[in-house]
Amino acid sequence: MSKRVLVALVLGMLLLGVQPGWCDLQNSEEQVFAVQNRVFHRNHEIDLSVGYIADDDFFHVYPVGVGYTFHFTDHFAWEVCRAQYMFNVDKDLKESLQNDFGVQPEQFAEQKYMLHSHLVYSPLYGKHAFMNRSIINNEIYFFAGPGTVHYEWDYSTGESRSEDAFSLSFGVGLKYFLSKKTCLNFEIRDLVNMREDDTENNIYFGVGVGFRFNLAPRKVEEDPTMKKLDKILQEE
């Protein structure tokens, strides 16, 4: 057996002999985790929102609505219903077609209101330091779900026609927690409305304020050390 092989065997035995002690030392130390539990979880959320549909050909569409979401866990939720009413303002193109080319009003489908329900998945959660003075918690979420959009046509005779079209809604949102009970939501949605004549695709930009609450206290794991520190700071 060569000297090199013998030296390698001796070193290997020494390392194996030291390893268990080193592992015990590591396990005996207090573990510190960079990932923390979410501190703003609430089961229920009511959202008030306003938005803008940017790509309608003939109208500036401003949806205003309300929604209710139930949060099962930190990551999964169900927006049970989001109801939005549309305020429509004529674009220059519509007025030009009517005045210059005599196009009749019944050619323009006007969205009146829409109802949707979404499954919500929130995989990303983080914090921002604002001016090194305060911490703002935030969450990125994705959502998708079915719904319906109500259209109306106004005829020159004064009559009207309506249609309820099946709709698919999916998109991404960013939530900023202003407090434990309120949050500010920004969303981009793709709306695919399947009308009888054709399929219409709209992009929606929205902002909303969410009010979050629990009907019963939520059980959370508390660190005794942190609880004592909070008590000391409150007494001071």
Angle at the Cα of 159 from the Cα atoms of 154 and 160, rounded to 5 degrees? 45
**pLDDT for the residue 21:** 44
Classify residue 195: in a domain, yes or no.
Answer: yes
Length of the chain as a residue count: 236
Q: Is 219 part of any domain? A: no
Distance CA 172, CA 92 (A): 31
* Residues with Cβ within 8 Å of residue 127, at least 6 apart in sequence: 135, 136, 137, 138
Q: Is 123 a domain residue?
A: yes
Question: CA 138, CA 186: separation in Å to the nearest integer?
Answer: 11
* Beta-ladder partners of 62: 87
Of 20-29, 146-155, 180-189, 196-205, the poorest mean pLDDT is in 20-29
DSSP 90: E
* pLDDT confidence band for 56 (50 / 70 / 90): confident
Distance CA 96, CA 13 (A): 89
- The amino acid that residue 236 corresponds to is E
Q: How confident is the model at residue 234 (pLDDT cuts 50, 70, 90)?
A: low
pLDDT of residue 5: 53
CB 171 within 8 A of CB 204: yes
The full DSSP string for 104-149 is -GGG--EEEEEEEEEEEEEEEEEEEEETTTEEEEEEEEEEEEEEEE
- The whole domain housing 139 covers 44-213
Instruction: Name the least confident of 30-39, 75-84, 167-176, 226-235.
Output: 30-39
Q: What is the pLDDT of residues 76-110, one digit of tens each?
A: 999 999 999 999 988 766 566 555 555 555 567 88
**Which tokens is 49 given?**
């929102």
Q: Give the confidence band of 190 by pLDDT, cuts at 50, 70, 90.
A: very high
| Structure-model confidence comparison of residues 193 and 94, the more confident one | 193
Helices (H) and strands (E) in the chain, counts: 3, 8
Q: Is residue 37 domain-resident?
A: no
d(CA 41, CA 218): 9
What's the pTM?
0.71
Mean pLDDT of the chain, nearest integer: 80
Q: How many domains is the chain partitioned into structurally?
A: 1
pLDDT of residue 11: 53
Helix or strand (DSSP H, E) at 102:
none
pLDDT of residue 23: 45
Give the CATH number for residue 161: 2.40.160.20
Amino acid 191: pLDDT? 95
**Of 49 and 21, the one with more pLDDT:** 49
Answer yes or no: is 32 within a domain: no
More confident site: 154 or 99: 154
Query: Strand, coil or helix: what is 221?
Result: coil
Ranking 89-98, 127-136, 166-175, 207-216 by mean pLDDT, the lowest is 89-98
Of residues 94 and 53, more confidently modeled: 53
Indicate whether 196 belongs to any domain: yes
Answer yes or no: is 81 within a domain. yes
Sign of CA dihedral 35, 39, 43, 48: negative
Q: What percent of the chain has a predicted confidence (pLDDT) above 70?
A: 67
With 0-12 / 13-18 / 19 or more C-beta atoms within 10 angstroms meaning exposed / middle / buried, residue 94 is buried
The answer to whether residue 155 scores a pLDDT higher than 50 is: yes
Q: What is the mean pLDDT of residues 196-221?
A: 84
Longest dimension (CA), the chain: 107
